[in-house]
Amino acid sequence: MNKLIIRELHNMPYEPVWRAMQAFTDERNESAADELWVVEHPPVFTQGQAGKEEHLLAPGDIPVVPVDRGGQVTYHGPGQLVVYFMLDIRRRKMGVRELVTAIENTIVDVLAEYGVKAAPRPDAPGVYIGPEKVCSLGLRIRRGCSFHGLALNVNMDLSPFQRINPCGYAGMIMTQTASHGGPTSVAEAATKVTATFAQLLSYSEIEATTGLPEAYV
């Protein structure tokens, strides 16, 4: 099974997509294809399993959703590309660290196409342009399968990040690709990121579709 389905969800609220991710992961079998879910979310803070309340400085009118991924608190909002990695990593004989590295390398490679030098950091998962964070990363593995994924800041209002300690780091400065000559739209970034990831993991068959799987709508 070397097929990858790229599922475009457009703009959807966070919680229904999260619940669908959980159900998809719990119910998939060994013949289910891997999928990437591509989405933009309305403004929301998500608090990972290790999340500490002190990192929520002033959420105000933006809802906070406690979730089952790794990591601390982050922000999702319009103009940010979110990709969820619904992969059977046991079938691919991948470890979690390998998957994290593949995701980070995908973003580094995409930005390199635009002449933007970016890199991961060993002490704080994600991808950085200099000292500024452009891409956050948080995963969950269940039954040998991954869900959750990355959030790449493309062309958005970054001010809500000032209401939190992003990913649990006080003073972490967030940036976006549009500020560095990178992708300026979520659609452009999504095309590049999904294609680069598929190539990096050598998927031989790619299928594009839209909307959540029917069983989880």
pLDDT of residue 81: 98
* Tokens 């097929």 -> residue: 3
Q: What is the mean pLDDT of the chain?
A: 95
pLDDT of residue 171: 87
pLDDT surpasses 80 at 150: yes
Is 72 labelled as part of a ligand binding site? Answer: yes
pLDDT of residue 195: 98
Q: What is the pLDDT of residues 33-57, one digit of tens each?
A: 999 999 999 999 999 887 788 899 9
3-state secondary structure of 35: strand
pLDDT surpasses 90 at 170: no
Give me the number of domains the chain comprises.
1
Domain CATH for 88: 3.30.930.10
| Order of strands across the sheet that contains 73-76 | 64-66, 44-47, 73-76
Dist CA 103 CA 196 (whole Å): 10
Is 202 labelled as part of a ligand binding site? Answer: no
Is 138 labelled as part of a ligand binding site? Answer: yes
Q: Which percentage of the chain shows pLDDT scores above 70?
A: 100
pLDDT surpasses 80 at 6: yes
Dist CA 177 CA 188 (whole Å): 11
Is 180 labelled as part of a ligand binding site? Answer: no
pLDDT of residue 43: 98
Dist CA 182 CA 110 (whole Å): 9
pLDDT surpasses 80 at 1: no
Domain limits for position 141: 3-216
Is 145 noted as a catalytic residue in this protein? Answer: no
pLDDT of residue 128: 98
Q: Which percentage of the chain shows pLDDT scores above 90?
A: 88
Write out the two tokens for 97. Answer: 């660290």
Q: Span 187-191, mean pLDDT?
A: 98
Dist CA 11 CA 112 (whole Å): 27
pLDDT of residue 25: 97
Query: Is 28 within 8 Å of 59 (Cβ atoms)?
Result: no
In one-letter notation, the amino acid at residue 54 is E
Non-local (6+) Cβ contacts of 183 within 8 A are 110, 114, 154, 155, 177, 189, 192
pTM over the 0.85 mark? yes
Dist CA 182 CA 109 (whole Å): 12
Q: What is the pLDDT of residues 48-105, one digit of tens each?
A: 887 788 899 999 999 999 999 988 899 999 999 999 999 999 999 999 999 999 999 9
3-state secondary structure of 11: strand
Dist CA 139 CA 120 (whole Å): 16
Is 70 labelled as part of a ligand binding site? Answer: yes
Is 36 labelled as part of a ligand binding site? Answer: no
3-state secondary structure of 44: strand
Is 136 labelled as part of a ligand binding site? Answer: yes
Catalytic, out of 167, 172, 193, 212:
167
pLDDT band at residue 112 using 50, 70 and 90 as cut-offs: very high
